Amino acid sequence: MKFVFWKAYHLESRSIVDEYVRLILPALSEQEVVVCESDDDAAREIADADVMIGWRITPPVFASAKRLRWVQFGSAGLNHTMFPELESSDVVLTTLSGVHTTVVAEHVIAQMLALARRLDTALYLASRHSYDRSKIASQASVLRGKTLLIVGLGKIGSSAAQLAKAFGMRVVGTKRTLPANIAGVDGVFAPDKLRDLLPDADFVALLAPLTQETNALIGRSELALMKRGANLINVARGAMIDHDALAEALRGNRLAGAALDVFPTEPLEPDSPIYDLPNTVITPHTAASFAEYAPLGAEIVRQNVAAFLSGGEMVNVYDRGRGY
């Protein structure tokens, strides 16, 4: 059986990717394995491959595959690599859903603390060698007693809720399927209740997968429903927010701040107006980045390799109906 490992270095560093490959290869010791770094190599080698492991697959490379049965992706979401031919195929797609749970949840807390304590202003002043306490003292706040609305109470959202609860926050959220309760969450609501929840939230954190329902989820009307002085956090996908409307809300002081890790187009161009938004904390799609990615991700892949070779049940199988 032939496995093609297609490397990529868009989001993860070369050293992390190399370690990821090194940790997975022993599970494939009895298989034919080809490691590719270029699109041309991948298109050539995938022609007779049964499995591909990587971060993305392109239409030309997929068109070259003649007997592909399974693709293991190195991300939790697949919207960055999905296209009609792949969507309609019978190739099994699996993700690394769950590997980023802790790090993204902690990133959300870090973003809330940065906004509450006005670290964006502090860093701006420090970069200009300015020591001005008044600019921060008049705006800084605390998390205790504030309401956090989590849009998408999946693995990451539920983890973020528990961390927020430790800060004394009130936590509510939306979830596609409604359980009886989720630890650390004071109220769980259906996604269609989002507009009812926005007016009471001090912080709104987007953690849902990008689907037809969540595309352009936060626009001008939703931002108008948020309370004056609220904060918006996005660690999901940039397409969920109308960034022109967000700019208006920030410049008009309707929102106190925003923390953005994902953007409509990535990498974010140097001349993007998003960089100039006031009271905004920007991270370059690193909410899910951490040094421990390789061993945790490799463990999931090794588990799926064993299941695939033995005919067992794989984990994190992409649901084409749900879009995640």
Question: CA angle 153-156-161, nearest 5°?
Answer: 65
Instruction: Give the separation between CA 261 and CA 186, rounded to whole angstroms.
Output: 26
How deeply is 263 buried, as exposed, middle or buried, from its count of CB atoms within 10 A (0-12, 13-18, 19+)? Answer: buried
CB atoms within 10 A of CB 145: 11
**Three-state secondary structure call for residue 216:** coil
Catalytic center residues? 237, 266, 285
Instruction: Give the separation between CA 279 and CA 258, rounded to whole angstroms.
Output: 7
Instruction: Give the separation between CA 259 and CA 234, rounded to whole angstroms.
Output: 6
259 beta partners: 233, 281
Instruction: Give the separation between CA 67 and CA 215, rounded to whole angstroms.
Output: 33
Output Rg (C-alpha) for the chain, integer angstroms. Answer: 21
Instruction: Give the separation between CA 243 and CA 88, rounded to whole angstroms.
Output: 31
For residue 43, give the amino acid letter: A
**179 cis-preceded (ω within 30 degrees of 0):** no
The overall longest dimension of the chain from CA atoms, in Å, is 66
Structural tokens at position 92:
């099994």
Instruction: Give the separation between CA 306 and CA 298, rounded to whole angstroms.
Output: 12
**Three-state secondary structure call for residue 208:** coil
Within 13 A of 28's CA, how many CA atoms are on the CB side?
26
